[in-house]
Structure 1
């Protein structure tokens, strides 16, 4: 018969198979051929060091209903603690079993120390469907810092590609205001990845606010950033009538005021003495954005 898969990533599954207790344990029935033992729910206690501190009532009620109908389909991971057993992974299943009045739960008993127990608990927490992007990134960071794991080792532990882990960790470098948008689901990881390519934090934040306001797609954001980074077109030798630093400062101020890219082109004097007129370009990306810019300029729809 195939070995029981726990579903915590190939690297951690291997650790669990290695640490699985196959011999009889005091206070517990002998395990079956897959290493699964059935324990009274009264003997299984929650882990006070469990990384997950909150359990949504709605999700727990759904799981309890499923447990009443189908039982516990995936065994809990536990370790012996005196004459009882401590949950390493599966506290939500234990809570659902108690709520469903099940007398016993299937478990796999592991022989592991505190450090290994915490690592498994952290990785199980990262398998949750309701984790937001920043919670996942912070989970990867905690694994790296507490257990000195490389990105490659983290990826193997959680069953993800190394590039996926690396991209998640980079999102933690974004300003706090943007991380809040990511936490709330107002920005995607794809948006965050593109914003990381913008050098100035203030410009990142302006773009993030605009994404939320205008519901911009990742592709639309990429086009905006590409345009911001595009080098200026080469022109005939000419001298700006305003200092370059002043023009940049003015462009930045207008960018903040209008919430969109603004380019200021100073009047210029060509090599032959001829003057070239100046201009101000205000970018907009759809009709709603145009209306917003016009309102800032004091032009309402009734004036058109």
Structure 2
């Protein structure tokens, strides 16, 4: 497919996701009062402990990132854990700031004598790694009312998140959106910058059986399509069986195959005894019998009988069926 005119949702600049974030910022700003850009002392800035994207950078990790030799050794290592990748990208951002400065202010709000980060925590830590004493920031006097949604939306686009983390993000967004009515797949997709089909699957899991969500959070289910498919199983016992099989390491296809083995005997029991013959039904009209026999035998080979005599017609019909069974 040509990318000359990419779908609107995936364009950079003015797009569904950037417009949605902009709208969130505007709403939050309107409720929190005016905000302005200023340069803040890095020591006066702190991460928001409620931010789902909080890096939780330890002192040991911070010191390790300052060790150029250790970082270089990690870059050439084949054993890269997800956490190590996050740390190395943070070091890259710090190096970029040293070379080019801070290209975009972070967003903060007043919290006592400090300023808490609404979004831009990675830039904050990178600035500290780069040894910067000051950082440009958009400053609000109050905590923006819709800040959690903004943090969650921004968080969804990290490439290090697994399904469990993304699911928590989606549920956080849905929780904040609940006061405005039920979210649709289209609305959620536009807000999170994803295909409507994926958004509908997230909704199906978020609003579906709790045991499927628990399996997602436990790491048993790591694929969104599998989670949505499991949520669609209405029978509690059958769904529980599938989740148990997945927890044992079976693939979705194998788990479904095992489920079908359980479903088949159940379906046969519901049908009762096996069907051994075809029921032809009944008719009170001898003319119907005559018409059938005439079509098959022809007018010249019809039995000679009184067609108003039901006893005689019934006998002839039975003899006709016996003869047909012999032919077949």
CA contact (8 A) 1:119 1:143 kept: yes
1:99 aligns with 2:129: yes
Change (3 A) 1:187 1:225: farther
User: How many corresponding residue pairs?
Assistant: 230
CA contact (8 A) 1:16 1:110 kept: no
Shift of 1:206: 2.3
Structure 2 counterpart of 1:44: 45
1:79 aligns with 2:109: yes
**How many Å separate the matches in 2 of 1:113 and 1:202?**
46
Change (3 A) 1:13 1:128: same
Which stretches in structure 2 are left out of the alignment for 5+ residues?
1-11, 62-82, 279-328
Deviations 1:189-212 (Å, cap 9, x if unpaired)? 111222233222222232344346
- Structure of larger gyration radius: 2
Change (3 A) 1:174 1:39: same
Higher RCO (C-alpha 8 Å, min separation 6): 2
Structure 1 counterpart of 2:154: 124
Structure 1 counterpart of 2:191: 157
TM-score (normalised: structure 2):
0.53
1:70 aligns with 2:96: yes
**How many Å separate the matches in 1 of 2:20 and 2:240?**
38
Shift of 1:102: 2.2
CA contact (8 A) 2:46 2:117 kept: yes
Compare the two structures and name the one with the higher helix fraction. 2
Counterpart among 236, 253, 267 of residue 201 in structure 1? 236
Deviations 1:254-274 (Å, cap 9, x if unpaired)? xxxxxxxx99998757469xx
**How many Å separate the matches in 1 of 2:45 and 2:139?**
11
CA contact (8 A) 1:75 1:106 kept: yes
CA contact (8 A) 1:178 1:208 kept: no
CA contact (8 A) 2:16 2:190 kept: no
CA contact (8 A) 1:79 1:88 kept: yes
Change (3 A) 1:115 1:130: same
**How many Å separate the matches in 1 of 2:174 and 2:19?**
18
Which stretches in structure 1 are left out of the alignment for 5+ residues?
26-30, 32-36, 233-246, 252-261, 273-304
